Amino acid sequence: MRILFMGDVVGRTGRDTLGLRLPGLRKALGIDLAIVNAENASHGFGLGPDMAHALFAAGADVITLGNHAWDRKEIIPYIAQNPRLIRALNYPPETPGGGFVVVEVRGGRRALVLQAMGRLYMDPLDCPFRTTADLLARYRLGATVQAIVADIHAEATSEKMAYAHVFDGQMSFVVGTHTHCPSADAQIFPGGTAFQSDAGMCGDYDSVIGMTKDNAALRFWRKMPGERLGPAEGEATLCGVFVETDDTTGLALRIEPVRVGGRLKQTMPEVV
């Protein structure tokens, strides 16, 4: 199975550019499963239902959220009706929406996609390790599903790495989101799980993690809140990760970064 995960979509420039390019990326890479983190798509804070609809129409099979999941209140009824839009698994049980979804891809294959949220320097949610382990007890890689992908939305790289190592061999791919900077540690762990600490963002990198430079810098320089942060609106770089898995075992065969457009060095996997 060929899987494409696109990092946090930030603002209009991120969502418009991804909407235009995602169909071509799916075709060029022969993608079976496309996952997009879109928790910053609405002016950098949250996701609107119309934006989710547009990303699905562009080719996203699953959309994940994060700590800004509820910034747009309109998303609450939408997420309750759309199982392919998921929030973190380790929110309390009565939270709207779901933390995972099983989708069918070409050839009748099935993929489990989940999101967990870290707790270090973030909200003290339920344990992401324990809630993930409980879910994986219900789905077996290479048997009940042909692929398992986890978006670990966390501040600390150490927590993301620890999470991936704990579930090495039980998932196809673990990818970090939230910090908006693509990491250079794409690898396949000894047990066969692909991992990258952070997928990066789909947004303007002439910015401070996607937000306009001046207002963001003033918060550090003067230690005053200043004006509300807003997303930078220059040309976006689309950052993501490509993973190919073995359909028999569900384990990863290769992992490569994807960077298209904008300021960062470009890279695209070669496929045949």
| 44 torsion bin: left (phi>0), alpha (psi -120 to 50), beta (else) | left
Sorted by sequence, the CB contacts under 8 Å of residue 201 that are 6+ apart come out as 7, 8, 9, 10, 14, 40, 180, 181, 209, 210, 237, 239
pLDDT by residue for the chain (272 residues), tens digit each? Answer: 999 999 999 999 999 999 999 999 999 999 999 999 999 999 999 999 999 999 999 999 999 999 999 999 999 999 999 999 999 999 999 999 999 999 999 999 999 999 999 999 999 999 999 999 999 999 999 999 999 999 999 999 999 999 999 999 999 999 999 999 999 999 999 999 999 999 999 999 999 999 999 888 888 888 777 677 899 999 999 999 999 999 999 999 999 999 999 999 999 999 98
Which sequence positions are flagged as catalytic?
A: 68
| CATH (residue range 2-260) | 3.60.21.10
Task: Measure the N-to-C terminal CA separation of the chain; round to a whole number of Å.
Answer: 14
Q: Could you state, in order of their start, the residue ranges of all structural domains in the chain? A: 2-260
How far apart are the C-alpha atoms of 140 and 170, rounded to whole Å?
8
For residue 35, what are the β-bridge partners? Answer: 5, 62
Read off the pTM.
Answer: 0.96
HEC readout, 30-72: CCCEEEEECCECCCCCCCCHHHHHHHHHHCCCEEECCCCCCCC
Digit-coded pLDDT (tens) for 213-266: 988 888 888 877 767 789 999 999 999 999 999 999 999 999 999 999 999 999
Would you state the torsion angle of the CA atoms of residues 237, 238, 240, 244, taken in this order, to the nearest 10 degrees? -120
Nearest CA to 213 out of 230, 192, 190, 189 is that of 230
